[in-house]
Amino acid sequence: DMDCLFCKIVSGDIPATIIKKTELITAFNDITPQAPTHVLIIPNKHFENIGEVSIADSKLTSELFKAAADIASEYGLESYRLNINTGAGAGQSVFHAHLHLLAGRAFAWPPG
Ligand code: AMP
Ligand code: ZN
């Protein structure tokens, strides 16, 4: 999808601070961090949201979550929040599936 910002990050057409890249997933720093650690983890292939990934590809779904756990472990994070906004009403603004990995400050519950 050549109109998709995150597809362009996967292809390297738009720069990002890449944390991890495999055949299936890419992780990079959020450009507007909402916490001291704010990493986005995305499938290299375009899916509109996590629901579409889950329906299509269980291996890819698990690799996204495994990457989050691996990064949390590598960063030595005791606590972190995984957030997945799905649909504009839930705050999704980039329609290429992504997990937010947030850490390094206290988080409120319930979320805003
Ligand atoms: P969401 O609102 O859940 O769709 O999250 C989209 C995220 O993408 C936001 O946290 C943005 O700050 C982030 N973002 C937008 N453009 C870029 C970019 N060029 N590089 C890295 N992160 C970005
Ligand atoms: Zn895309």
What is the residue with the minimal CA distance to atom 15 of ligand 1?
31
Burial of 64 (0-12, 13-18, 19+ CB in 10 A): buried
Residue 33 φ/ψ, nearest 5 degrees: -65, 135
Query: pLDDT tens track of the chain, all 112 residues?
Result: 679 999 999 999 999 999 999 999 999 999 999 999 999 999 999 999 999 999 999 999 999 999 999 999 999 999 999 999 999 999 999 999 999 999 999 999 999 8
**Nearest ligand, measured from the Cα of 9:** 1
Q: Tell me if residue 98 is catalytic.
A: yes
Q: What Cα–Cα distance (Å) separates residue 62 from each residue in 25, 26, 65, 85, 96?
A: 11, 14, 5, 18, 17
